[in-house]
């Protein structure tokens, strides 16, 4: 009986450093290269996309990412895994939509119809509003939600939800409809209003995506994810994708993943990814809130020590800004209101590590310049450092 290949935590950290472009000698030349390497960038917080990219570029410039997103359209912002907003390579959009987003969009569409019905609006009325909205957006080229509300007044119709409960609120048809149309790939998020940290954006009509079978798309997404994040456990794949366990197992089999032994138990790797990688020279990194690397796995002990989590993770499981040394999270960082950066180690560090982290903090501060960034999801350590 042939023993299964073994990939220990040290090797996993070596893969993380090189394949996720964190070791300085492996930094990329373009935002497209960064996004391809990471499969998808978390985009719930607009600033995270720019900060995640900057951390991995040899010569980071916000204008390069803006070009890719809004001019060349080589990158696109869309909903994907776990109902979350991501930035992905445009070529991956059909795979992401077929494997994940379409199912989510169908559920959101049902919720929209139920929401409209609560306000006394039927499916025919909603369909008419949708047609007028798409026509207005096509004629305008691009528009914000507020601008579309001026062009299609029905979008401003408001409905009270959760009546009588502490979180009772009024929501407009426009907010819900635009979200669903985005998920269905009828429209796409474009350039923000203001600078790159802004969360208000324009919408534009989106071209139709090629149709793919679900199983084929799930196998391809799993293959790409394992190439970037593997080896990993079944639970890791299930958590990252948001799929059911049967879908995950089928996708692992379809992409040819093989079983390997990890320090935490059984994992999976691509068949051409079993040989050890050389470890990079010592490296440090400052990664933003919701960065794809710390958010990449469910089982995190091999890179995120349990004692650090109370300081770095909020109650909903969102990871704040992190400081890395040789493939492990060793602290966190924050930007003060005066623009200066502060970081704090959560464990003793050698002088070499402190000097390397200081150098990365200086590099990030120079890149940020006058920009001010406050994470959308704030964690205990980030709040303490800015207090």
The domain segmentation of the chain, as residue ranges, is 117-205, 284-386
pLDDT tens sequence across 208-258 = 888 899 999 999 999 999 999 999 999 999 999 999 999 999 999 999 999
Give the architecture-level CATH label for domain 117-205. Answer: Orthogonal Bundle (1.10)
- Give the pair of three-digit tokens for residue 55: 């951390």
Question: Exposure pattern of 198-212 as b/e (b: 16+ CB <10 Å)?
Answer: eeebbbbbbeebeeb
- Give the pair of three-digit tokens for residue 373: 């960034």
The residue count of the chain comes to 387
Q: For each successive 10 residues of the chain (387 residues), what is the average pLDDT?
A: 86 97 97 98 95 97 95 95 94 96 94 94 96 97 95 94 78 95 93 88 89 96 98 98 97 98 97 95 97 96 97 93 98 93 97 98 94 93 93
DSSP 171-209: EEHHHHHHHHHHHTTSEEEEEESSSTT---EEEEE-PPP
What's the rounded Cα separation, in Å, for the pair 310 and 46? 24
pLDDT tens sequence across 365-378 = 999 999 999 999 99
Q: What is the pLDDT of residue 265?
A: 96
What's the rounded Cα separation, in Å, for the pair 211 and 209? 6
- Give the pair of three-digit tokens for residue 108: 């959101």
Residue 286: closest CA among 347, 338, 334: 334
Q: What is the pLDDT of residue 2?
A: 64
Q: 332 Cβ partners below 8 Å, 6+ apart? A: 311, 312, 320, 321, 322, 323, 343, 344, 346, 379, 381, 382, 385
DSSP 49-87: HHHHHHTTBSS--HHHHHIIIIIS-SEEEEE-GGG-EEE
């Amino acid at each position: 009986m042939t023993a299964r290949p073994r990939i220990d935590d040290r090797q996993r950290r070596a893969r993380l450093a090189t394949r996720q472009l964190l070791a300085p000698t492996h930094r990329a030349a373009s935002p497209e290269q960064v996004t391809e390497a990471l499969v998808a960038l978390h985009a719930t917080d607009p600033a995270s996309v720019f900060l995640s990219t900057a951390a991995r570029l040899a010569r980071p410039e916000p204008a390069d990412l803006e070009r890719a997103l809004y001019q060349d359209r080589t990158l696109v912002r869309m909903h994907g895994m776990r109902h979350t907003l991501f930035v992905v390579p445009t070529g991956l959009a059909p795979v992401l939509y077929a494997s994940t987003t379409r199912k989510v969009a169908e559920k959101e569409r049902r919720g929209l119809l139920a929401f409209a019905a609560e306000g006394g609006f039927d499916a025919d009325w909603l369909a008419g509003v949708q047609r007028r909205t798409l026509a207005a957006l096509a004629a305008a080229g691009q528009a914000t939600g507020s601008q579309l509300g001026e062009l299609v007044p029905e979008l401003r119709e408001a409905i009270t939800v959760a009546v009588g409960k502490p979180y009772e609120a009024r929501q407009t048809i426009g907010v819900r409809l635009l979200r669903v149309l985005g998920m269905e790939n009828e429209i796409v998020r474009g350039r923000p209003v203001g600078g790159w940290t802004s969360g208000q954006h324009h919408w534009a009509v989106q071209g139709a995506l090629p149709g793919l079978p679900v199983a084929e798309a799930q196998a391809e997404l799993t293959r790409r994810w394992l190439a970037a994040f593997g080896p990993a456990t079944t639970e890791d794949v299930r958590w990252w994708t948001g799929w059911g366990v049967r879908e995950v197992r089928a996708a692992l089999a379809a992409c040819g993943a093989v079983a390997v032994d990890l320090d935490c138990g059984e994992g999976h790797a691509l068949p051409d990814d079993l040989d050890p990688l050389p470890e990079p020279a010592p490296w440090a990194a400052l990664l933003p809130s919701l960065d794809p690397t710390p958010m990449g796995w469910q089982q995190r002990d091999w890179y995120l020590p349990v004692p650090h989590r109370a300081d770095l993770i909020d109650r909903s499981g969102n990871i704040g800004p992190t400081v890395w040394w040789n493939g492990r999270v060793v602290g966190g960082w924050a930007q003060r209101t005066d623009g200066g950066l502060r970081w704090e180690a959560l464990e003793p560090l050698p002088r070499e590590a402190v000097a390397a982290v200081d150098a990365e903090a200086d590099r990030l501060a120079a890149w940020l310049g006058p920009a001010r960034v406050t994470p959308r999801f704030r964690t205990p350590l980030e709040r303490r450092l800015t207090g």
